[in-house]
Amino acid sequence: MTGWGFLLSRQWAGYLALTIVFAVVCSGLGTWQLARRAEAQTEISRVDANFDAEAVPVTDALPELDSFSEDQKWLPVELTGTYLLDDELLVRNRAYNINPGFEVLTPLLLTNGDVFIVNRGWVPTGEGQNAPDAVPAAPTGEVTVVARLKQGEPVLAGRSASGDQVATIHLPDIAERLGRDTYTGAYGLMKSEDPAVAERPMPVLRPVRDEGPHLSYAFQWFVFALMAFVGLGWAARQEYRTVNAAVPEEQERAAERARRHATKPRSDSEIEDELIDQHS
């Protein structure tokens, strides 16, 4: 068989099928990276819009206890009430700049009788026990809190806690534990409280405006998909030369390639390889 007829063989049909599958997988991964980038850009826009916005009354932002929409993330809300100090909880396994520790959840009993969970910040793990050495006390009496909204967390399989510790900020579980009407759509990361105390847990830092390397990764995956077909074409061309080696026209082209290669200046690495071969 001469010419390009070999491309119609079962073997080359298999090569083409494998190339298509590889390209589809690479394109899917590239599209996934673009979707991840879009999510990161959406989060950046949300931080820019909400993080430093003016605080609104919590009842305006969350008209129902289970209210919350994703575009409200980081939105500051203002609440007035009294901390339920005896019901304070610690969230296990929370890192702060790679250091292990806990987040402090202090329920705030609002003046209308509802409870809002305030995350007052982070404290490190203690020296000799799996608990903080000390937790800065929340102010007593009536307090006005400004907190940034965040959605509650799901239950994590295999994670458990006991006593005043919880494994995750799953608001329905916390509401059941408190036995009060509690906001279950969102909780708040404390921005400020008035009156303020002399010492408070470490506050949440403003998220970094970084969309990550998703765009470059997507480009790489699409290039891999393209290169698969380029490689298939190169392999087909090499096969064509082998199959048609006895054809006069192909012999002339092979001779021309040999002449061009012979007159082409050799690189330093080629010269070094030749010297090594001569002395081996």
Local confidence pLDDT in tens for the 280 residues of the chain: 567 777 888 888 999 999 999 999 999 999 999 999 999 999 999 999 999 999 999 999 999 999 999 999 999 999 999 999 999 999 988 988 888 999 999 999 999 999 999 999 999 988 877 888 889 999 999 999 999 999 999 987 777 677 889 989 999 999 999 999 999 999 999 999 999 898 999 998 888 888 899 999 999 999 999 999 999 999 998 888 887 877 777 667 767 777 776 666 766 676 666 666 666 5
Residue 161 structural domain: 53-194
Residues 66 and 188 in one domain: yes
**171 lies in a domain?**
yes
Domain count of the fold of the chain: 2
Residues 6 and 105 in one domain: no
Residue 34 CA: distances (Å) to CA of 23, 41, 42, 46, 182: 16, 10, 12, 18, 38
Residues 179 and 73 in one domain: yes
Q: What percent of the chain has pLDDT over 70?
A: 90
Q: Largest alpha-carbon pair distance within the chain? A: 99
Residues 72 and 133 in one domain: yes
**275 lies in a domain?**
no
**266 lies in a domain?**
no
Residues 175 and 241 in one domain: no
Residues 31 and 124 in one domain: no
Residues 77 and 167 in one domain: yes
Phi, psi (5° rounding) for residue 47? -65, -45
For residue 14 the two structure tokens come to 């298999």
Q: What distance in Å separates the CA atoms of residue 98 and residue 91, rounded to the nearest whole number? A: 16
SS3 content of the chain, % helix, strand, coil (to 5): 45, 20, 35
* Distance, CA of 181 to chain centre: 34
Residues 6 and 134 in one domain: no
- Cα dihedral sign for 202, 169, 157, 165? positive
**95 lies in a domain?**
yes
